[in-house]
Amino acid sequence: MKRGLLTLGFLASVCFAAQTSAWAGQAPGAASDPDIPVSHRDRVYSAEQFSNTVSVTDPVDNKLVGVIRLGDPQPGNFSPLYKGQVLVHGMGFSPDHKTIAVVSIGSNAVTFIDTATNAVKHTTYVGRSPHEAFFTPDGKQVWFTLKDVGKTMVFDAQPPFAVLKSIDTGPITNHVNFARTANGTFAYVTIGGLNEVKVFRTDDFAQVATIPVGKLPHGVWPSGDGSRIYVGLENADGMAAIDTATNKLIATSPIGQAPQAITYVPNAVPEGDGTQGLQPLDVAGRATHLALGAVEGRKTIGSAGSGGSEDKAPTSVSLFDQGLIQVLQASVTGLEPKQPYVLGLAYGRDGEGPLEPLAAFMTNPAGSAIVNATGAIRQVVHGEDRIQRRYLVIAQGHADKPGAVVQVQLK
């Protein structure tokens, strides 16, 4: 790949390079590239699909510097005259570290941002729903995730592109990226349904670690020296930092709503404090977090654990504030595969009484799903403004004929 070409989130994100005996060369750079120590000149960027923002974090102290606003939250982006971006999701950066490319899957756009000034340089519109894939730093393998079936696939990067490995990684397998360390090259895979990051060697595909990080981990990216891995927590509005020497979580910092892609850009700010063009989080940082657990006596299938603990609950729910309303996102696991269910509101904490459907959905082959709805839902589940309180539940069946309740709100 030519050095002048921009690495886009939905294209291969690593340049091909010759083998090197050193352990430098962090994704998406070439394997021969030197390590770059973590510094205040670096920035970690997060693409956030409900606030339609890009959060900018200083990795030295894991502190949010500010956000770049590419669009508006709902209901502003419903207007026929709306010209901003929708569902800010994927991300990559140029080899010279001067530009990041941000993919918005709802508006089918790629926005080019100057890393030194945080200014939008250009927006171009492409085909439907662009996304991303990743090469290993040595250019020999291509790794990508199969979210619906909970697998990670590894292909030979050379013709005839044979399948090298299929790994059962878990429900809502999201993104993969790599870190090169003194011990080898490792793939870090975010498993949204388990709230974990799984770590695999790229030479023999052995799993070497499982790291609990927080609710619905999604995007993942290494620091310039491979000493850290950064993970966006979609249902926790947080940025998790992992020490690759110990594979332990070392920090979590607040960012915008529903972070998707993560990009770490070494030396993104060659001079100054890098605060130009940034805004405070404001509404982009407001969200309510809930959990649903299995109804007592019912088996929880393929989930992060039993329904008795919110940290181990099979389903996490975030209500992302959009002003008067919220976007609800539920990371649902623990259900029967390929079956119809309804997310709704019940009058009783245990799911008793009439059910008001919010969203009907079908689980994937891993018994999981990402479910969305929009409305003044926080006010209802908290009983605000003298509204009769109701509780989020998941029931079997369809919206017009819901069946037995299988998961209920834990608080």
Q: Which amino acid is at 55?
A: S
Shared-domain flag, residues 122 and 230: yes
More confident residue, 132 or 60: 60
20's enclosing H/E stretch is none
- On whether residue 38 sits in a domain, the answer given is no
Task: Judge if 260 and 319 occupy the same domain.
Answer: no
- pLDDT tens for 192-239 read 999 999 999 999 999 999 999 999 999 999 999 999 999 999 999 999
CATH of the domain at 300: 2.60.40.200
In a domain, 18, yes or no: no
pLDDT over 90 (residue 370): yes
What is the pLDDT at residue 95?
Answer: 72
Task: Note whether residue 31 is domain-resident.
Answer: no
From 65, 67, 20, 62, select the one nearest 228 (Cα to Cα): 62
**CA 318/CA 233 separation, integer angstroms:** 11
Indicate whether 89 belongs to any domain: yes
The Cα 243–Cα 229 span in angstroms is: 7
- % of the chain at pLDDT higher than 70: 89
More confident residue, 34 or 307: 34
pLDDT at 311: 57
Q: Residue 139: what pLDDT?
A: 81
The pLDDT value recorded for residue 30 is 72
Instruction: Quickly state the pLDDT bin for 27 (edges 50, 70, 90).
Output: confident
Domain-ending residue, one of 258, 282, 306: 282
User: What pLDDT sits at residue 296?
Assistant: 72
Asked whether residue 125 falls in the same domain as residue 214, the answer is yes
Inter-residue contact 407 to 350 (CB < 8 Å): no
Split into its structural domains, the chain has a count of: 2
Mean pLDDT of the residues in the chain? 87
Looking at the structure, tell me whether residues 238 and 317 fall in a common domain.
no
- Does a cis peptide bond (omega within 30 degrees of 0) precede residue 212? no
The residue out of 249, 265, 282 marking a domain boundary is 282
User: Is 24 a domain residue?
Assistant: no
Q: How confident is the model over 277-326, as pLDDT tens digits?
A: 999 988 888 999 999 999 876 544 434 444 445 556 789 999 999 988 99
Q: Give the position of tokens 């080019």.
A: 112
Q: Could you tell me if residue 169 is inside a domain?
A: yes
Q: In DSSP terms, which residues pair with 180 in a beta bridge?
A: 185
d(CA 43, CA 263): 8
Percent of the chain residues topping a pLDDT of 90 = 64
In a shared domain, residues 311 and 269: no
Instruction: Pick the last residue of a domain from 282, 299, 317.
Output: 282
> If you search the block for the tokens 């693409």, which residue do you land on?
47
Residues 347, 277, single domain; the answer is no
Residue 86: both structure tokens together:
């929708």
Same domain, 265 and 403: no
- Greatest mean pLDDT among 6-10, 107-111, 247-251: 247-251
| For residues 56-69, average pLDDT | 96
List the structure tokens of 93.
Answer: 């950066």
Kindly state whether residues 112 and 86 are assigned to the same domain. Answer: yes
Amino acid identity, position 10: F
Q: Which range marks the domain in which residue 105 is found?
A: 43-282
Shared-domain flag, residues 84 and 189:
yes
DSSP assignment of 95-160, as one string?
Answer: TTSSEEEEEETTTTEEEEEETTT--EEEEEE-SSS---BEE-TTSSEEEEEETTTTEEEEEESSTT
Q: What is the pLDDT of residue 144?
A: 81
What pLDDT was estimated at residue 146?
A: 81
Whether residue 183 lies inside any domain: the answer is yes
Q: Is the pLDDT of residue 395 over 60?
A: yes
CATH assignment at residue 259: 2.130.10.10
Q: Report the alpha-carbon distance of residue 111 to residue 122 in Å, rounded.
A: 6
Verify that 246 and 306 share a domain, yes or no.
no
DSSP string, 205-217: --EEEEEE-SSSE
Whether 167 maps to a domain, the answer reads yes
Average pLDDT over residues 149-166: 87
Instruction: Looking at the structure, tell me whether residues 271 and 296 fall in a common domain.
Output: no
Residue 389 pLDDT greater than 90, yes or no: yes
Residues 272 and 290 in one domain: no
C-beta of residue 365 within 8 angstroms of C-beta of residue 338 = yes
